[in-house]
Amino acid sequence: MSTTLQTLVNNLLTTFKKLIMTKLYNLLLLLAFCPIALNAQLEINGDITFPNGLPICNALVELHNANGDILAQDLSEADGTFTLSDLPAGTDYTLHFSKDGNPLNGTSTFDMVLIARRILGIDPLQDYDVWIGDVNGSGTLTTLDMIFMRRLILNIDTEFPVPTWAFDEPQASAPDNQISIASLTEDLTVDVIGVKRGDLNGSAQVNCD
């Protein structure tokens, strides 16, 4: 074999080796990232507002799986938004909502008067009035709710029979502070309405600090 031919063969072999090494490297790279690709990292975000559209801050949002394990949590920002990131795709997830606060915040005898006027039909029932006024969780607005509000105002009780804040999807009839997610296969955006129970005229102060 001539020297020129030998050089050509050597060059070809070197090029071939490089090609093989590059392909092998790419394959290893693909395998390394494969688990992440299979276990898609998804996001649930949303907006928590009062019925009038004003934001609700510092509401705790938790994502539970079917076993009740908390997979992620976030507090809503001053603009009412929240984000749960790096979520694995899956089924039977539930979003849970809650908010700390004094049950008396925004609840006064004036709210009792407003409930009485709605019960008596003097004022028409507005959207979310039942969410706000149903402080015993019966699903209806009755004089019993007025009694529980009165007990709270007089410090006979320190809280309502139901959570101080109610959250749910806008179209829910009776809020249960949960939103079910049947299947999480892609990023999801949810709209959430929240109300402070026992505060018909929306006088509750919300501290976003």
Supply the minimum distance, in Å, between the C-beta of residue 52 and Ca ion.
Answer: 14
Residues in binding contact with Ca ion, number by CB under 5 A: 9
**CA dihedral defined by 133, 135, 137, 142, rounded to 10 degrees?**
-60
Nearer to Ca ion, 76 or 136 (CB): 136
CA 104/CA 84 separation, integer angstroms = 31
Q: Does 145 bind Ca ion (CB under 5 A)?
A: yes
Longest dimension (CA), the chain: 110
Nearer to Ca ion, 15 or 201 (CB): 201
- What does the block give as tokens for 191? 């709209």
Nearer to Ca ion, 64 or 177 (CB): 177
**CA dihedral defined by 19, 23, 24, 27, rounded to 10 degrees?**
170
| Interface residue with Ca ion, options 45, 81, 138, 178 (CB under 5 A) | 138
Distances (CA, A) of 78 to 18, 38, 56, 191: 56, 35, 7, 16
Q: Does 203 bind Ca ion (CB under 5 A)?
A: yes
| Interface residue with Ca ion, options 111, 115, 118, 194 (CB under 5 A) | 111
Give the footprint of Ca ion on this chain (CB under 5 A). Answer: 106, 111, 134, 136, 138, 145, 199, 201, 203
